[in-house]
Structure formats: C-alpha cells, structure tokens
Structure 1
Amino acid sequence: MLYPWQEPVWQNWQQLLRQGRLHHAILLVAPGGSGREALAKQLAKTVLCQQSETEPCGLCHGCQLFAAGTHPDFHAVAPVQAGKQIGVDAIRQCNRWATETSQLAGQRVIMIDPADHMGESAANALLKTLEEPPSGCQFILLAHSLDRLLPTITSRCNQWRLPTPDESQTQRWVEQQLMQSVKREAIRLNSGSPLATVAFIEQGQDIRYGKLLAAFSEFAKPPHLGLYEVAGLCTAEGSISLKWLSYFLVDCIKLQQGAGSHLIHCESVGLVQAVAGQLSPAVLLRQVHQVNALQRQLETHPGLNEELLIVNWLTGFMPA
C-alpha cells in the first residue's frame, strides 16, 4: 500500500520502468515514519513481477511469493539489532547475491535499510558492486539522510528524496486514520511524520507526554517540588522523553526571544509562557545543551542508571 505523499515519486519511477531507464541503484532518502519501506517494497515487487513492468499484478508466481515473504530473488539487509551498524559480512553477502543467477529466471533485488547505518568497511565493500553492477540486479538503498553516507556511495546511486507532506495534509490524513481530531503539536513533536504521529497517538504517548509536561511545568516553579515525579515519568518513557523536554525548553527560549509564532507547542502556549517566565535564558540554554547530550549518552550506553542521570540533570533547574 502506498501513501498519498509517495505518489509523485512512485509515478516518476513508473515512467522510468516503462522506458527501461530505471537506474541499477536507487537511493531513497526519507525520514523515519514516512512509510519509505512500503514505497521501496512496491518498487521491488514491481521489478520482480512476471506480468507487468510498471505495477505489480499481484497474481503471478513472483507476486505471490513476494506477498508471502518467500521470494528467492528478493534480499533485504538490515542491522542485526536496531540502531546498530550494518557490518561488512552482511554487505559481502549482498555482493554474492548480486552475482548469483536468478532462481525465477528474472531480476534480483537487494534492499539495504538503513543504508546510512553501513560502517565504512561495509560501504567500501559495496562500492565495487555499485561501480560494476551485475546484469539483472536492482539495488534499493534507504536512508534517513545523506550525512552518514560516503560520497562515493551516493555518487553511484540515483538519488530520490521523499517529501514530507505539509502540516495540513498530515493533520487531515492522521485524523482520517484515527477518526478523531489531532493537535498540531503532536505532528510537530514527530517532525511532521504522518506514520510517527499515528503511532504516537495510538500508543498513548500523547497522553503520557501531556502528564510529563504538566509535571515539569509545576517543577519549574519555585520551590521546585516534584523532582522525582518528573524523573520517574521520564524514566518510564525512556530517552524520547528527554527529546520532548528539549523541544519544550527550546520553545521557552523562542518565547523569551520574541519568536512565539514558531512554537512546536502551539496548543500549550500557556505552559510555555509559565515556564519561560520562571527560568532565566542562561539556565534554559544550559539545560537544553545538557539534556541533548544526556539523550545521546543514554541511547549510546543503555546500561547506565537512567533515573540517577535524569535527576542530576533536573537539579540544574534549582538554585545552588
């Protein structure tokens, strides 16, 4: 299933397929929560379809095998563990698949997701195959951004960027999926991503975030009561809660600097105003830098005492 915001890219790919001009290595750059895997698999299924050049027929043997997840000529490569790198051994296996004969006498497709999580050795191992592509092998690389990809990889791929729908379009789509009204700030908290916003609400994160925001705004007032309540809410939610508080504190800084029309918390302006009025610009700036560093630390080293570190950060809002 394709999503509405993917149609322009898909139509371009269909035209290239129709003309026999689809590049052997497609690089799709898209944020998480954009449904990029669905678009990539639509392309893979089309390339492997035995009846149609521009749209999977859904009826042929290839389409049926793909739907069952057992197509012998489709290979998906991902990190062994979420957030980890794709190792060089996995890419060497890709190179072997690329040179093998198709088991269904058609094309082979290799999808790497996320390609920007390849280590340098893995990327270099892939490079030669992209430079001298075997006949009948289609590579599809997915990435969050180009920042972590070697220029030598990106230069050998045909790059496509999946546009994020505008806020109004996202709000309409999310509301249609959930059959309820959705706050703009829920969309902004999820960087405008439709699928991430749906998950945010379906998993009840919007409710827990509201509780965290209320508890933090009370803690920000002298005499700064409720420190352990805020720390407990953060610990229960995980490091994403620190990202939420970072967004909130940045909004406080924006309000102090007169940029109140660009807030993420457009429906919680009262809470932003209350906290911005209690904390100095110096404290806010320092705490934003520290909470961003803390979030990275907890994501990189998951065995740390999370609650203790969060309590230590929260004490930075209290007078010495």
Structure 2
Amino acid sequence: MLYPWQESLWQNWQQLLEQRRLHHAILLLAVKGSGRDVLARQLAKTVLCQNSETEPCGVCHSCKLFEASSHPDFHVIKPEQEGKQIGVDAVRQCNRWATETSQLNGQRVILIEHADAMGEAGANAILKTLEEPPQGCQFILTAQSLDSLLPTIVSRCNKWRLPIPAEVNVKQWVEHKLMQSIKQESIRLNSGAPLSTLSFVESGMDIRHGNLIKAFADFLQPPNLGIYDVTALCTADGIVTLKWLSYFLVDCIKYQQGVSDHFVHVESFASVQQVASSVPTALLIDQSRKINTLYRKLEQHTGLNIELLVVEWLTGFIQD
C-alpha cells in the first residue's frame, strides 16, 4: 500500500508502464523516512506481475511469491549496515543476475537500495550493465540525493524525485495515525519526512528532545549549573541529540540576527529567546561549528567516549 504523498509519482510511472516507455534504469531520489522502499517495491512488484501492466494484481503466482519475499526474479542489494558501503562483490552479483534467464518466463528486477552507498569501484563495476542491460531486466535504484552519487551512474538512469509533502499534510497524517496532536518542531527536526516524524513521536523522542532543550537552555544561564544533567540527556539517545542542539543554536543565532521565521524550535521558542538574550553571538557561532565537527567525529569513530567529549564541548560555554 502506497502512502498518500507517493500517489502522484506512482501515477506517472503507471502511464509509462502502460505505454511501455519505462526506462530500464529508474533512479528514485527520496529522503529517509519518506517510504521510498515501499514505492520502489511497488514498482518492482508491478513489473513482475503476470496479470497487469500498471499495478500488481496481488493474486498471480508472481505477486504471491513477491509478497512471500521468495520471488526468484527479484534481487536486492543494499549496505550490510547503515552507513557502510555496498561492496564491489555485491555489485558484481547484480551483473550476473542481469544476464540470467527469468525463472518465471517474465521480467527480472534488480533493486539497489541506498545506491549512493556504492563506492567508485562498485559504481564502475555496474556501469556497462546499466547502460546496456540485457533484455527483460529492470533496474531500480534508490538514494537520498544526487550529491553522493557518481555522475556516471546518474547519467545512465531516469531520475525521479519524491517530493516532501507540505508540513500541514505531514502534521495531519501523523496526527491521524497516532490519534494525538504533534508539535511542529517534531516535523522540522525530521526534515519534513512523514515516517521519521511518526517514529520520532511514537518512540517518545519528542518528549526527550523537549527535556534536553529546556535543560540546555537553563545550563546556559549563569552560573551554568547542570552540565552533567545535560550530558546525560545528550547521551541517552546517541549522537542524534547533537543534531538537535545544533538546530537549536542555529535558531538562537537567527533570532539574534533579526530573522522572524523558518525556526525549527517553534514550540520551544521561549528557550530560543532565553539563550539568544544571554549568550554572545560569536560564542554561539563558534560552539555551533564545534558541535557539528563533534557530530561528524562521533559518526565516523563509534568507539569514542561521547560523555567526555560532550562535557568538553559544554564547558566551552562557561565564560570567565
């Protein structure tokens, strides 16, 4: 079942399927939390369906196998772990699948999830197959953005971008799912992605975010008490909390510079004003730069002592 914000793009694909003009290599660009894998698999299932050209019938042998995750002509590669590269051996396997004969006498579909995780060696290994795929082989690639994809891969695909739905629609959809109202800042902290926002609120991250922002704003008021309370709240949910604080500092800097809208922390705006009125702009900018550096460092080196590094960063706010 597709999500409401995917319907428009899906209808475009259906038209191409009906006209038999679907490109042999589809590149779907969509942010994390937009359900891009659902849309990609809907396309794969439709291409493989034995009864319909524009939507999966759900009753044919192919559809039944697809739903059971045992379709012999549907192949998927993706990173073994989030943040890791797709190995060149996995990419070479795609080339072998592409040349195999269909076991159901139909199409073959190869889905490459997180195609932006292919290294240069992997990308080079599949270029020729993407450019001239064997008859009856459909490639579907998904990625977050074009930024980390090699131009040689992009140039061989037909690009489609899944638009992020309007904030008001995300709010309505998540609230309908949860049967409760949600904060606007929960949506903005998740870049407007509906599924990420849903998970964020469902797991209570919105409450923990609110607690962290209040404790952080209070700590920044002289005499800067509660450094270890803030550190504990920071480390409870991993390094994502550093992103929250980075967004908060940017909001404070915006407020100091007279910006009147586009704040992430809408419901926590009193805390933004509180910090912006007591911490010098130069210090906020410097600490904002440092927390972004710290985030990247912890992202790359998971064995580091996050508590110690966060305390060190927070100490930078204490002015003599």
TM range (shorter): over 0.9
Deviation at 1:293, TM superposition (A): 0.8
Alignment partner, residue 52 of structure 2: 52
Q: Confirm or deny: 8 A CA contact 2:26 2:158 kept in the other structure.
A: yes
CA deviation map 1:237-274 (0-9, x unaligned): 11000000000000000000010322111111111000
Query: Moved runs in structure 1, 4+ residues, more than 3 A?
Result: none
Provide the identity percentage.
67
Q: What SS is found at the alignment partner of 2:217?
A: helix
Alignment partner, residue 211 of structure 2: 211
Alignment partner, residue 167 of structure 2: 167
Measured in 2, the distance between the counterparts of 1:251 and 1:19 equals 49
Alignment partner, residue 16 of structure 1: 16
Deviation at 1:197, TM superposition (A): 0.4
Alignment partner, residue 228 of structure 2: 228
Alignment partner, residue 74 of structure 1: 74
> Structure 2: any 5+ residue segments left out of the alignment?
none
Deviation at 1:186, TM superposition (A): 0.7
CA-based RMSD of the aligned residues comes to: 0.7
Alignment pair present for 1:156 and 2:144: no
Measured in 2, the distance between the counterparts of 1:48 and 1:132 equals 20
Alignment partner, residue 184 of structure 1: 184
Alignment partner, residue 275 of structure 1: 275
Q: What SS is found at the alignment partner of 2:76?
A: strand
What is the correspondence of 1:1-320 to structure 2 with a 5 Å cutoff? 1-320=1-320
1:295 maps to amino acid: Y
Q: Confirm or deny: 8 A CA contact 2:210 2:268 kept in the other structure.
A: no
Deviation at 1:36, TM superposition (A): 0.4
Measured in 2, the distance between the counterparts of 1:259 and 1:207 equals 27
Q: What SS is found at the alignment partner of 2:56?
A: coil
Q: What SS is found at the alignment partner of 1:109?
A: strand
Q: What SS is found at the alignment partner of 1:160?
A: strand
Q: What SS is found at the alignment partner of 1:261?
A: coil
Deviation at 1:183, TM superposition (A): 1.1
Q: Confirm or deny: 8 A CA contact 2:200 2:206 kept in the other structure.
A: yes
Deviation at 1:97, TM superposition (A): 0.4
Deviation at 1:236, TM superposition (A): 1.2
Measured in 1, the distance between the counterparts of 2:162 and 2:261 equals 27
TM-score by length of 2: 0.99
Measured in 2, the distance between the counterparts of 1:60 and 1:126 equals 32
Measured in 2, the distance between the counterparts of 1:146 and 1:133 equals 22
Deviation at 1:102, TM superposition (A): 0.6
Tell me the number of residue pairs that the alignment of Structure 1 and Structure 2 aligns.
320
1:306 maps to amino acid: I
CA deviation map 1:189-215 (0-9, x unaligned): 110111100000001101111111111
CA deviation map 1:14-52 (0-9, x unaligned): 000000000000000000000000000000000010110
